Amino acid sequence: MDRILKYKVAIVMLFLFLLLFTACQTQDEFRKTGTHWTVGFDKREIVPEDITAKTYYIAGYDIDKPATGILDPQYVRAVWMDDNSGRGGVVMAVIDCIGLTRTDVEHIRSLLKDFQKKSGCRSINIFSTHTHAGIDTLGIWGPLLQSGKDEEFMEMLYKNTVDAVVGAWQNRKDGVLFGGSVEVEGILNDSRDPQVYSKTLFRFRFEPYDNSRGLQMIHFGAHPEALRSENTLVSADFPAYMGKRIMEMTNDDFVYLTGAIGGLINTKRLSDESGRQLDVYKSTEKTGEILADAALSIDNERVLMPSFNIKTKVFESPLENPVYLIEKFLGILSTKAVKGGGEPFNLSVRTEVTYAEIGDVKAIFVPGELFPELAYGGDEAFIPVHESVQNPKTFAEMLGDSNFLVFGLSNDEIGYILPPNNFLLDEKLPYIENAVDKYGRRHYEETNSIGPKTAENLANALMELLASCGITR
């Protein structure tokens, strides 16, 4: 081998070594184990005092539906979690609301900049429960062509979220974090085929060393819309009654985290012992109690090692829904659009996806309402509208694991995220009228999506994110 060739080989070998060394360093930085868990909790009510004197719009069903009172308060609940690995803590704030845009989330993060410096916080995550009985936080449930978002209410929401986050950090205590799950049967309904959803209710339970009040973070995949469309009272829906029951039984604080709920996954209307259907208020209360009792029945808890690994990737997906664009033009929707993305508007929505490992629990934070089949896989017997279209890899395939959590409506609400092979628009009024396919199936969720390429772009971003964390399949 001549001298020049040897030189070239040496350069290539050095480059490969540096590449491998950098990758190992990145993975080592991503995965660390600390000495113990430090967790804090705080909450703030987010219902305005003038709820009956001023017009506030209920979000989730019909437009122009003013709230007539309060059934139970909306809250923002904040959790501080630190694995004491020296990397700093992670904030998880959950708001009882229909959703927040990434613009809102970024604003909240900006208000917490000084807190981040003081606390050493390395990641701030804002989740929405997606209650369909909360005050409009997106703007799209006001009168026709008018925003339903009240700016004074939003300022109060921002402030109380910041206060809750700071309070959670101030209330932090050392202790042990447990994880466990249970399968919940007979309560979920999938309103759109294929019938794919997770029945798993997962619980993170924190127990402080000083035996003071603990914390239970419950993850479950269902729309909080048990109150149905006829309700006009402000409410957090069934999670409110989950929290009430858990507090009564254990004295623990409570947080509800929404899962993969696209499709549309909701809870069934319950009946009494004689088979008579309960009114929506009693059914909602009972639903929350059933789910709380399921959480309290968990008998497979394990100690979660003090390790909170988390990483986020920002990505873009084409904005093809003209309704979103009109709402943005009218100042109704605060979703940010950036140039580029193809037809028809050459615009994209910039959003983010996050991968986290909490102890040995894997979680993917998704910026909207994900169809569960994109996470877990579909029904092989189901015939989609586009049989020749290939869906992206499922989350389970990317992770090489079927045991993981999807946190929906995380750090954004971009709408429904649908499988490309079953995405259908009305030919005459796309994104306005619900399409009906040749099998007679209604395609409502498409009208509340940014476009058919969302799932693919999310999957591509997630694959890159997982690869940067050392996960390749």
Q: Give the 3-state secondary structure percentages of the chain, helix then strand then coil, rounded to 5.
A: 30, 25, 45
Residue 278, C-beta contacts closer than 8 angstroms, at least 6 positions apart: 269, 270, 271, 272, 286
What is the Cα–Cα distance from 434 to 173, expressed in whole angstroms?
50
Which pLDDT score, from 0 to 100, does residue 342 have?
A: 81
Which pLDDT score, from 0 to 100, does residue 473 have?
A: 82
Which pLDDT score, from 0 to 100, does residue 343 have?
A: 84
Which pLDDT score, from 0 to 100, does residue 313 have?
A: 98
Are the beta carbons of 215 and 252 closer than 8 angstroms? yes
Question: What is the chain's pLDDT, residue by residue, as a tens digit (473 residues)?
Answer: 555 544 544 444 444 443 444 444 445 578 999 999 999 999 999 999 999 999 999 999 999 999 999 999 999 999 999 999 999 999 999 999 999 999 999 999 999 999 999 999 999 999 999 999 999 999 999 999 999 999 999 999 999 999 999 999 999 999 999 999 999 999 999 999 999 999 999 999 999 999 999 999 999 999 999 999 999 999 999 999 999 999 999 999 999 999 999 999 999 999 999 999 999 999 999 999 999 999 999 999 999 999 999 999 999 999 999 999 999 999 999 998 999 988 899 999 999 999 999 999 999 999 999 999 999 998 989 999 999 999 999 999 999 999 999 999 999 999 999 999 999 999 999 999 999 999 999 999 999 999 999 999 999 999 999 999 999 98
Which pLDDT score, from 0 to 100, does residue 64 have?
A: 98
Are the beta carbons of 263 and 190 closer than 8 angstroms? yes
Q: Where are the domains of the chain?
A: 1-30, 38-473
What is the Cα–Cα distance from 96 to 60, expressed in whole angstroms?
12
Which pLDDT score, from 0 to 100, does residue 4 have?
A: 54
Q: State the angle between helix axes of 238-250 and 280-296 in degrees (0 to 180), rounded to the nearest 10.
A: 40
What is the Cα–Cα distance from 55 to 224, expressed in whole angstroms?
23
